Amino acid sequence: MTLWLDVEDLFHYALRNPRPSGIQRLSFELYRGLREVLGEGVRFCRHDPVGDGLRVVSWEAVEHLFSRMQRPSPPAHAPAARAAAGRRLGLLRRLAGRLPLAMRDPLMQAVGAQRAALEAQRAVIGHGGRVLRAAPSLLRGPASEDDTGTMGPGQDIRAIARPGDVLGVLGSPWFHHDYAGFIHRATGGIPMRKALLVYDLIPMLRPEWCDAGLVRVFSQWFGGFAPEVDQILAISDATARDVEAWAVREGIALRHPILSVPVGTGFSGPPAEAASALPAGLEPGYALVVSTVEARKNHHLAFRVWRRMLEEMPHDRVPPLVFAGRIGWLVQDLMQQIENSGHLGGKLVVVPDPTDSDLAALYRGCRFTLFPSLYEGWGLPVTESLSFGKLCIASDRTSVPEAGGPFCLYIDPENVTAATDVIRRACTDDALIAEREAAISEGFRPVAWREAAAALAGRLGLHPA
């Protein structure tokens, strides 16, 4: 029995984003863990760029892509051509980011397909007769990726998948306008079980915090695919309850009870092991917020709290505040406020698109972390903070208390006054920090990604050979 994992969304995401967000990091760590647990019992596939098919892609190609997304930005002395290419790519990503999602994702799919076609054309021109002679084996052979993530012609899984195999969807493929139909066609009638890992239903439950295009495409994807799935898994009990409530509202009879899976913690692989320095001028002892800067994550609360503390406390008693993460949607007003305030007089530092090694350095150097999110499917930065032995002041909403357990200080993310009281104490009370760090050191036990992957495999009835 083979577990086939659709990883197209990871490559699709990398077309327009230089760094992974939480979903991409979580899914990649599960891919790595499943490979460790199941060995050759797990295989990976991507969407055929010119047809309705799923084609084999090697684990090395997936790993290479993720490693590429962890590379440091080019240094200032990089060759002019490379720097210019980086500027062009950054401009393309910024322009694409301003398009409605309904236009943006088809555009990026077209760009990916065009790149694949150009790579194939370049190979034919460059290798001539050798390519023609090798064509049959290429069509049967494993997929390959170049440094851009372009897919070569891998084997169609319809030729090798067997009845009883499992097709796992552990990422975020909602960019596909007809995912349920695509999967039906791509599996060619092979009786494969389908498994879906759900992160959250935020675009449907709290659309006010999302891009309007995302609300539309996510709702279409989930509403079309979830009823076809044999086993739905969730990353938290809170998300499982949300899916169950959705099924009741929609009158959909799920085929099996929804099972939650544990979420791992930590950075794995060479990129995370590399040393990384703090941003210039930033000394240890700051407060840290790790997440994409978007409305739902509630960075605005942190901004208001720091503004209030700077008005009420001596300047040197207020630690710097660091926002580490990609700049997302619905935060134009906040970013303008940050700029207009001179980054709160220099007290607010924004670290966009950090690598895993950057994040590890930031976690190690902080006094505490802050996670005031209004709605979550899990809360990966909470468990990351605890895994580094750092107190997290976290939202008391949805799944976040599952992630933080008894080790966090919890706040109402909509009550700025009460939050200010808790955060001010964490900024000034060394005994509180020491007490909380001792409790974390003694009691917090992070879940390894391999353990999370083994639990997921077990939920699907898959075990090492």
Average pLDDT, integer, range 414-440? 98
Handedness of CA 159, 163, 164, 170 (dihedral sign): positive
For residues 322 and 287, what is the distance between their CA atoms, to the nearest angstrom? 6
For the chain, the structural domain boundaries read 3-264+452-459, 278-446
Return the higher-pLDDT residue of 180 and 98: 180
267 pLDDT above the threshold of 90: no
Q: What's the rounded Cα separation, in Å, for the pair 139 and 120?
A: 12
So what's the pLDDT on residue 272?
Answer: 44
- pLDDT tens across 357-387, in order? 999 999 999 999 999 999 999 999 999 999 9
Superfamily of domain 278-446: Glycogen Phosphorylase B; (3.40.50.2000)
Tell me what pLDDT residue 410 has: 98
Q: What is the pLDDT of residue 139?
A: 34
In 10-152 the beta strands, taken as DSSP E runs, fall at 42-47, 54-57
Euclidean distance between CA atoms 350 and 308, whole angstroms:
19
- pLDDT attached to residue 75: 52
For 5-60, how does the pLDDT look when each residue is reduced to its tens digit (9 = 90+)? 999 999 999 998 888 999 999 999 999 999 999 999 999 999 998 888 999 999 99
Residue-wise pLDDT for 61-79, tens only, equals 999 999 998 887 665 444 4
For residues 274 and 420, which has the higher predicted lDDT (pLDDT)? 420
Mean pLDDT of the chain: 86
Per-residue pLDDT, 73: 65
Torsion sign, CA atoms 4, 355, 371, 401: positive
